[in-house]
Structure 1
Amino acid sequence: MLDILIIGGGPIGMACGLAAQKAGFSFVILEKGCLVNSLYNYPSTMTFFSTSEKLEIGGIPFVTINNKPNRAEALEYYRRVAVSNHLPINLFEEVENVRPINGGYEVISCKQTYQAKKIILATGFYDISVNLDIPGENLPKVKHYYKDPHYYAMQNIVVVGSSNSAIDVALETYRKGAKVTLVIRGDEVSHRVKYWVRPDIINRIKEGSIQAYFNSNLAAIREDEVDIDTPEGRITIPNDFVMAMTGYKPNFDFLAKLGINLSEEKFIPEYNPDTMETNQAGLYLAGVVCGGLDTHLWFIENSRIHAEMIIADIIAKQQQG
């Protein structure tokens, strides 16, 4: 039986692995996709908001010549951390079920079955998109993930949202020759947008290069057009692609399946903030999954500490017998 099984091979899951390794525990990390799968699925041109030292895990330096690292640098850093520290990570191995057994847990993946005394859940929130729940949302032209702007050159693009991802998509596709329309629920561009990007989008909207409808909602999507509900009424515009940058959410069904209590309003999982242990004994949460629907609460930068908190609690419980 393993001492610890970590579900999720992102930066925080890896941080938990490094802390477990340092403490001398036997462990394995299971990741349903590639290494740091969420980061891999970020836009290819993405630059982090944070400086590199805030993205470091396990006290291992993240060296870059840039003020803020980009996606490619982050992928290289976390890969080197995993390889150089010989972290036991099983990639493309999705966990299907976890159940209590013999004072610990049995973990059933798509490939094999494990037994572990403790479980750390570090699954993030980037795998399930928040839907618009409007007619036409299931059309192939509707995208919740964005990789590269060239694909959308010379196309009519509607971007839904006003956060960093939406604004990056709008600006990058516009600069590759797309005709971009922003649909924003509020009355302004979000103040969470990166400080060096927000003035850019505001100026593009003011000069008319990018059309923006504020206090508005996308109402319906069809093959070659969309309907937008604006303060002046419903309008219809030509459209080739809809980029629904509406955010993402943790796998709440999986959390509930494990017996973790979720709050009614924002589905925030129940856990002890001092130890990160959930209402299920020996089952811990780490990273952004802790925030439920409040996905602006936790990031790599402020949740790295969860790894040390969890391992400290496991050690303390072990010493107590």
Structure 2
Amino acid sequence: MKSVFDIIIVGAGPIGLACALEAKRKGLQYLIIEKGALVNSLYNYPVNMTFFSTSEKLEIGGVPFVSNTIKPTRNESLEYYRRVTIASGLSLHLFEEVKTISQEEELFTVHTSKDKYTTSNIIIATGFYDLPFLLNIPGEALPKVTHYYKDPHFYAFQKVLVIGASNSAVDAALETYRKGAEVTMVIREKDIGERVKYWVRPDIINRVKEGTINAFFNSTVAAIRENEVDINTNDGLVTIANDWVIAMTGYQPNLTFLEKIGIKLSADEVRKPLYDTDTHETNIKGIYLAGVICGGMDTHSLFIENSREHAVKIIDNILHHKMAVL
């Protein structure tokens, strides 16, 4: 017969790992379940990405993060979180997706793509990087369109359309341009995003000003075809030749999953989950939220650096309940 876990942690991102480290430190029996690779969201970041945060702000469990420069790269972060996982001997199952959660009295059953587990508590730390915002336009499903950008070499000497003006869009535009791509940006706003990394923003602005990267501001993509793209601009519909579309339109948390298991969301457009800010326990006793998922659609308010404290709050509350029962 399988044992009953004190905690099942859904998501092996930095905050899920932080929760596991705290659970292990406090002697609780836990298991992390992750549908993808270790720190899957970070793995899917662009290969050459540099974090906005400094390395110490990305640390978890009090383990130092030493990087070559003040602001670490994607590869350094993958190495760091992997080494933390190994050194701490964290218990986790990768490439196993949580499908449903059921409850009987005070115990939960977590049903996954591979098995099922019984637990007294659940921590959901699933982030927001798995579900891109779709354009919902003709041609978006073509193989030439991607909502994730990895490496610039693939686009060398190609006609590339980059949609968006966030950090990821700007990185994609600059990197593919420097590999020889003919880059066009389509930007809904009137300017490059204010949140773009301060050492990158002047670069993209200057490339647009000099015309080496073409940009349509106050514009949207109307349709995508095999060799062309239609763009709605202030001057009317413009059609340009195109080989690849990199749609950096942003991402959203899987709030449908929360609703399906009974967690209440706010009625406004933010759809923020209902939870106690002191303990992070939701309206369902025994189910907790950690990390970016706590902000609902407001994905810009929570980061690794200001979500690490969630682990301590949650584990202390679970331990308090556990001791009260004994």
TM-score normalized by the length of structure 1: 0.98
Deviates more, 1:139-148 or 1:291-300: 291-300
Q: Number of residue pairs matched?
A: 321
| Aligned residue among 46, 50, 54 for 2:49 | 46
- Structure 1 residues 151-193: Cα deviation after superposition (integer angstroms, max 9, x where no partner): 0011111111111000000000000011111111111111100
Q: CA RMSD in A?
A: 1.0
- Structure 1 residues 35-89: Cα deviation after superposition (integer angstroms, max 9, x where no partner): 1111111111111111100000000000112121111111111011001101001
**Alpha-carbon distance in 2 for matches of 1:228, 1:145:** 21
> What is the aligned partner in structure 2 of residue 33 from structure 1?
36
> What is the aligned partner in structure 2 of residue 129 from structure 1?
132
| Aligned residue among 45, 60, 65 for 1:62 | 65
| Aligned residue among 283, 301, 309 for 1:297 | 301
> What is the aligned partner in structure 2 of residue 314 from structure 1?
318
1:159-170 → structure 2 map (5 Å cutoff): 159-170=162-173
* Corresponding residue SS for 1:307: helix
**Alpha-carbon distance in 1 for matches of 2:265, 2:246:** 30
1:218-257 → structure 2 map (5 Å cutoff): 218-257=221-260
**Alpha-carbon distance in 2 for matches of 1:40, 1:310:** 26
| Aligned residue among 284, 288, 311 for 1:284 | 288
One-letter identity of the residue aligned with 2:141: N
Q: Which runs of 4+ in 1 moved over 3 A?
A: none
| Aligned residue among 172, 189, 192 for 1:189 | 192
- Structure 1 residues 70-121: Cα deviation after superposition (integer angstroms, max 9, x where no partner): 1111111101100110100111111111111230211111111111100000
> What is the aligned partner in structure 1 of residue 107 from structure 2?
104
One-letter identity of the residue aligned with 1:40: Y
Identity of aligned residues (%): 60
> What is the aligned partner in structure 1 of residue 91 from structure 2?
88
**Alpha-carbon distance in 1 for matches of 2:66, 2:179:** 31
Matched, 1:270 2:274: yes
- Structure 1 residues 187-223: Cα deviation after superposition (integer angstroms, max 9, x where no partner): 1111100000000000001100111111111111111
**Alpha-carbon distance in 2 for matches of 1:219, 1:36:** 35
TM-score normalized by the length of structure 2: 0.97
One-letter identity of the residue aligned with 1:282: G
